[in-house]
Amino acid sequence: MCGIVGYIGKRNIKRWLIDGLRELEYRGYDSAGIAVMKEGEIHAYKAVGKLVNLEEKTKGFEPEGPGAGIGHTRWATHGKPTELNAHPHMGEYSYVVHNGIIENYRQIKEELEAEGVAFLSQTDTEVIVHLFEKMTKTHEEPYAAFKATIARLEGAYAVLLMSKKAPQTIFFARKGSPMIIGKNAGGEIFFASSDAPLIGEATEVAYMEEGTVGYASPEKIYAEPDALQFVPLAGDKLTAQKGGYRFFMEKEIYEQPNVIGDTMIGRVLDEGVAFEELGGDFLEGLTRIKICACGTSYHAALTGSYLFERQAKMAVNVEIASEFRYKEPLLTDDTLFVVISQSGETADTLEALRMAKAAGLKTLAICNVDNSSIVRMADATILTRAGIEKGVASTKAFATQVMVLWMLSLFFAQKRGTINAEGARREVEAMDRVPTVLKEALTVHEKCKRLSKRYLHGHGFFFIGRDIFFPLALEGALKLKEISYLHAEGYPAGEMKHGPIALADAELFTVALMPQTLLYDKIKSNVEELSARDSTILAISPLPFDLADDFVLTHAHDHPMLEFFEMMVVEQLLAMEVSIRLGNDVDMPRNLAKSVTVE
Ligand code: F6R
């Protein structure tokens, strides 16, 4: 989704803006642009496609500071991905970049057009800059004009605006879309829509609250209605780079043994699980759980539903957030409302959370990004601690979400007395083995690499599994389709005979998740049915299976969740290797964005 950067200081401003935008590339974009203000002039450049095109366009433009600049990567919503629609958008003497959607832009545009303003783009964003310039005619101070402009906007926005009327100043506003401001001892000021461009640059950052409006110049940073709360920003550039791996996705798959350890620290104890984020009476009055999420996070939620019902004996209902928000749901106050989101900014999930809060439900967020919009809104949050995930196809974020849900189901089971001490100890022992299992799972990487060459064609893939391996099948299919662009579907294995098996032939590839600890015989007979119809079978199992055309042998474990995590890694590696062989952009697949901040 769109990314924003801004800079005030003495460096080569163009370089910083483009480098900053590169850190946001993982969010997905289809055009980019910058505007640099120096010695009273503003120079703007835009290009369709990747940042190299923008670099090409700005060759020879090397603006050393002092000055200010704003930059943007655009993921098209209103209007096609063209240069005219790319940000920054300009008026006569001002430039703006914006994330989000201005819902009342048509009305503002009509008003301005009636007054003779000519629009260049099809975007909603362009109204901001023209409205600002109109406001400067009736407001003497540029900041007063900016505030009056923002007051007219409805919808979601993170906005940076520069004007020749206010040298070396950047005006900012945030509502519904994230925006961070950073500074350092050298007097530099930075803006970005997520941490990544600021790491190693700013020493202190402030995450803007909803409704913040303000301005920054070398002399002053001013914000209202509340002053900005700066906190130290930890981390260095290295943490945000590829570290020798071919792709961020590969690095993130390999990070899983470590990050899952982080997820568990202080939470998985000898006798059970503790969450200091949740007070002692957290479950009081709650008997059911509703979980809302999208995409991969939805698959984690489905996995959690099996665990909560089995261990904590709580009725669980899982819904896709974009469906939930328009269905007039029945919400009862004995329900714990859980949202799961890697980014914490997904518009549909955020709206579902808002609705649950408005209905007076107790809310819990399971999220990877502290200070994100979802975290700020929820009553309580459990952070998944996966670290920055840059590959658009989620891997380590999913692993940590599932881990949190497993821990949480045990936590609830203990609180509700639905598990005895011996049972809890067995769960904890299994949890402690997850980092090792994730590490051992990586030994099949070579095998997946070799196998991948046989799966580059065909008319589709079925990923099948039962129980918790059904959501894992959904996730395996999503991973493959996202980055290979091959058609893949996940199914509960028992559903085959109710329709999908009609597709079975030699060019239909079935990836069968066949754990030994859960319903092995049942899934085996489902796979036999597919094999009898000549589907090509890739079995993932610790037990040999004669009818498989291809086989990935997993380790024998005595707990289904350990088999789950190992098979998850196999699916991730397989999808990645297929994508690499097809020559696709593994980290930034076509049409997708990392953080989906629009409906
Ligand atoms: C797929 C993927 C997406 C996200 C979905 C929700 O690999 O990453 O399906 O899971 O867009 O995003 P979050 O978790 O940020 O709410």
pLDDT in tens, 89-110: 999 999 999 988 898 999 999 9
Ligand 1 pocket test, pick from 193, 249, 296 with the greatest ligand atom count within 8 Å of Cβ, gives 296
- Cα separation, 144 vs 142, in Å, equals 5
User: Ligand 1 atom closest to Cα of 296?
Assistant: 10
- Residue located nearest, by CA, to atom 9 of ligand 1: 295
Mean predicted confidence (pLDDT) in 412-420? 96
* Confidence band, pLDDT 50/70/90 cuts, at residue 333: very high
Ligand 1 pocket test, pick from 320, 346, 484 with the greatest ligand atom count within 8 Å of Cβ, gives 346
Mean predicted confidence (pLDDT) in 151-157? 92
Mean predicted confidence (pLDDT) in 373-378? 92
Which of the residues are catalytic? 2, 594
| Residues within a 6 A CB radius of ligand 1 | 294-297, 341-343, 346, 349, 393-394, 478, 482, 596
Confidence at residue 448, expressed as pLDDT on a 0 to 100 scale = 96
- pLDDT(177) > 90: no
- Residue located nearest, by CA, to atom 11 of ligand 1: 295
Q: Which residues neighbour 19 within 8 Å (Cβ) at sequence distance 6 or greater?
A: 197
- pLDDT(238) > 70: no
Distance 462 CA to ligand 1 centre (A): 21
User: Distance between alpha carbon 135 and the CA centroid of its chain, in Å?
Assistant: 37
- pLDDT(61) > 90: yes
* Confidence band, pLDDT 50/70/90 cuts, at residue 243: low
Q: Which residues neighbour 474 within 8 Å (Cβ) at sequence distance 6 or greater?
A: 299, 302, 463, 490
Which segment of 21-35, 289-303, 422-436, 499-513 scores lowest on mean pLDDT? 21-35
- Cα separation, 313 vs 316, in Å, equals 9
Q: Which residues neighbour 579 within 8 Å (Cβ) at sequence distance 6 or greater?
A: 483, 484, 586, 589
- Cα separation, 382 vs 374, in Å, equals 11
User: Ligand 1 atom closest to Cα of 343?
Assistant: 15
263-271: long-range pairs with CB below 8 Å, 24+:
263/384, 263/385, 263/386, 263/400, 263/403, 263/404, 263/407, 264/403, 264/407, 264/431, 264/432, 264/434, 265/385, 267/407, 268/407, 268/428, 268/431, 268/432, 269/428, 270/428, 271/421, 271/424, 271/425, 271/428
The chain-wide mean pLDDT, for the chain, equals 93
- 8 Å CB contact between 350 and 377: yes
Q: Which residues of 437-451 are buried (b: 16+ CB within 10 A; e: fewer)?
A: bbebbbebbebbbeb
The torsion of the CA quartet 33, 37, 41, 42, rounded to 10 degrees, works out to 20
Ordered domains of the chain (ranges, CATH): 3-238 (3.60.20.10), 242-419 (3.40.50.10490), 439-583 (3.40.50.10490)
Confidence at residue 599, expressed as pLDDT on a 0 to 100 scale = 73
pTM of the model: 0.74
Confidence at residue 356, expressed as pLDDT on a 0 to 100 scale = 97
Ligand 1 pocket test, pick from 390, 394, 479 with the greatest ligand atom count within 8 Å of Cβ, gives 394
Sheet (strand 89-90) strand order: 89-90, 94-102, 155-163, 170-175, 212-216, 221-224
Dihedral angle sign, alpha carbons of residues 125, 147, 205, 165: positive
Structure tokens at 277: 């984020």
Distance 524 CA to ligand 1 centre (A): 31
